[in-house]
Protein backbone atom coordinates (compact mmCIF):
# COMPACT_ATOMS: atom_id res chain seq x y z
CA UNK A 1 0.00 0.00 0.00
CA UNK A 2 1.39 3.39 -0.96
CA UNK A 3 0.77 6.78 0.58
CA UNK A 4 -1.49 7.50 -2.41
CA UNK A 5 -3.58 4.40 -1.69
CA UNK A 6 -3.97 5.55 1.91
CA UNK A 7 -4.99 9.05 0.80
CA UNK A 8 -7.63 7.62 -1.54
CA UNK A 9 -8.82 5.29 1.18
CA UNK A 10 -9.11 8.06 3.76
CA UNK A 11 -11.09 10.18 1.32
CA UNK A 12 -13.50 7.27 0.92
CA UNK A 13 -13.78 6.54 4.67
CA UNK A 14 -14.15 10.20 5.57
CA UNK A 15 -13.32 12.10 8.71
CA UNK A 16 -14.41 10.97 12.18
CA UNK A 17 -15.87 7.70 10.93
CA UNK A 18 -16.95 5.97 14.15
CA UNK A 19 -17.42 2.57 12.50
CA UNK A 20 -13.92 2.66 11.04
CA UNK A 21 -12.35 3.84 14.30
CA UNK A 22 -14.13 1.03 16.15
CA UNK A 23 -12.58 -1.43 13.67
CA UNK A 24 -9.15 -0.14 14.68
CA UNK A 25 -10.03 -0.82 18.32
CA UNK A 26 -11.14 -4.32 17.35
CA UNK A 27 -7.74 -4.93 15.75
CA UNK A 28 -6.21 -4.13 19.13
CA UNK A 29 -8.57 -6.36 21.11
CA UNK A 30 -8.24 -9.19 18.57
CA UNK A 31 -4.45 -9.14 18.94
CA UNK A 32 -4.85 -9.17 22.71
CA UNK A 33 -7.27 -12.11 22.52
CA UNK A 34 -4.95 -14.03 20.18
CA UNK A 35 -1.74 -13.46 22.19
CA UNK A 36 -2.89 -12.83 25.75
CA UNK A 37 -1.24 -9.43 25.54
CA UNK A 38 -0.48 -6.68 23.07
CA UNK A 39 1.53 -3.50 23.00
CA UNK A 40 0.60 -0.15 21.50
CA UNK A 41 2.93 2.54 20.25
CA UNK A 42 3.44 5.82 18.48
CA UNK A 43 5.77 6.64 15.63
CA UNK A 44 5.66 10.41 16.15
CA UNK A 45 6.83 11.88 19.44
CA UNK A 46 5.44 15.30 20.26
CA UNK A 47 6.07 17.65 23.18
CA UNK A 48 2.83 16.57 24.89
CA UNK A 49 3.81 12.89 24.90
CA UNK A 50 7.60 13.14 25.16
CA UNK A 51 7.55 12.03 28.82
CA UNK A 52 5.54 8.88 28.03
CA UNK A 53 6.80 5.54 26.70
CA UNK A 54 6.71 5.19 22.92
CA UNK A 55 5.57 1.57 23.34
CA UNK A 56 3.30 0.49 26.19
CA UNK A 57 1.41 -2.63 27.23
CA UNK A 58 -2.33 -2.45 26.57
CA UNK A 59 -4.29 -3.08 29.74
CA UNK A 60 -7.70 -3.20 28.02
CA UNK A 61 -8.28 0.53 28.55
CA UNK A 62 -10.26 2.51 25.99
CA UNK A 63 -8.09 3.72 23.11
CA UNK A 64 -9.06 7.13 21.81
CA UNK A 65 -8.93 7.98 18.12
CA UNK A 66 -5.31 8.60 17.13
CA UNK A 67 -4.24 7.32 20.55
CA UNK A 68 -1.62 5.04 19.01
CA UNK A 69 -0.14 4.32 15.61
CA UNK A 70 0.33 0.56 15.81
CA UNK A 71 -0.33 -2.61 17.77
CA UNK A 72 2.20 -5.44 18.19
CA UNK A 73 1.87 -8.81 19.93
CA UNK A 74 4.84 -8.32 22.29
CA UNK A 75 7.27 -5.62 23.35
CA UNK A 76 10.20 -5.18 20.98
CA UNK A 77 13.37 -3.34 21.94
CA UNK A 78 14.50 -2.92 18.33
CA UNK A 79 11.25 -1.19 17.38
CA UNK A 80 11.57 1.16 20.33
CA UNK A 81 15.16 1.93 19.29
CA UNK A 82 14.05 2.74 15.72
CA UNK A 83 11.35 5.14 16.97
CA UNK A 84 13.69 6.92 19.38
CA UNK A 85 16.44 7.08 16.74
CA UNK A 86 14.02 8.76 14.32
CA UNK A 87 13.02 11.26 17.00
CA UNK A 88 16.66 12.19 17.66
CA UNK A 89 17.56 12.46 13.97
CA UNK A 90 17.46 16.05 12.69
CA UNK A 91 14.71 16.48 10.11
CA UNK A 92 16.23 17.04 6.68
CA UNK A 93 13.19 16.44 4.51
CA UNK A 94 10.62 13.89 3.56
CA UNK A 95 12.97 11.63 1.58
CA UNK A 96 15.23 10.93 4.56
CA UNK A 97 12.31 10.71 6.97
CA UNK A 98 10.60 8.23 4.65
CA UNK A 99 13.53 5.85 5.10
CA UNK A 100 13.24 6.04 8.90
CA UNK A 101 9.44 5.70 8.96
CA UNK A 102 9.58 2.80 6.49
CA UNK A 103 12.03 0.97 8.77
CA UNK A 104 9.61 1.41 11.68
CA UNK A 105 6.60 0.23 9.70
CA UNK A 106 8.54 -2.73 8.31
CA UNK A 107 9.54 -3.70 11.85
CA UNK A 108 5.91 -3.51 13.04
CA UNK A 109 4.87 -5.75 10.15
CA UNK A 110 7.71 -8.23 10.69
CA UNK A 111 6.61 -8.62 14.32
CA UNK A 112 3.09 -9.56 13.23
CA UNK A 113 1.77 -6.14 14.18
CA UNK A 114 -0.59 -3.79 12.44
CA UNK A 115 -0.36 -0.08 11.73
CA UNK A 116 -3.61 1.58 12.69
CA UNK A 117 -5.31 4.11 10.46
CA UNK A 118 -7.67 6.39 12.34
CA UNK A 119 -10.35 8.54 10.78
Question: What are the residue ranges spanned by the domains of the chain?
Answer: 3-115
What are the start-end ranges of the E strands in 12-103? Answer: 39-41, 55-57, 70-72
| Mean pLDDT value across residues 67-85 | 98
Residue 60: pLDDT band by 50, 70, 90 thresholds? very high
Question: How crowded is residue 28: how many other Cβ atoms within 10 Å of its Cβ?
Answer: 21
- Model confidence at 8: pLDDT above 80: no
At residue 15, the pLDDT reads 83
- Model confidence at 26: pLDDT above 90: yes
How many angstroms separate the CA atoms of 86 and 45, rounded?
9
| Mean pLDDT value across residues 28-38 | 98
CA 42 to chain centre: 5
- Model confidence at 97: pLDDT above 60: yes
- Model confidence at 111: pLDDT above 60: yes
Rounded mean pLDDT of the chain? Answer: 93
Amino acid sequence: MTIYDIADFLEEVGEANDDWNDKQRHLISDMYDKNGQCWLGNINIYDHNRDKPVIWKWEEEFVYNFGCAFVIPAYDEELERLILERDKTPYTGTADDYVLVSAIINRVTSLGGTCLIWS
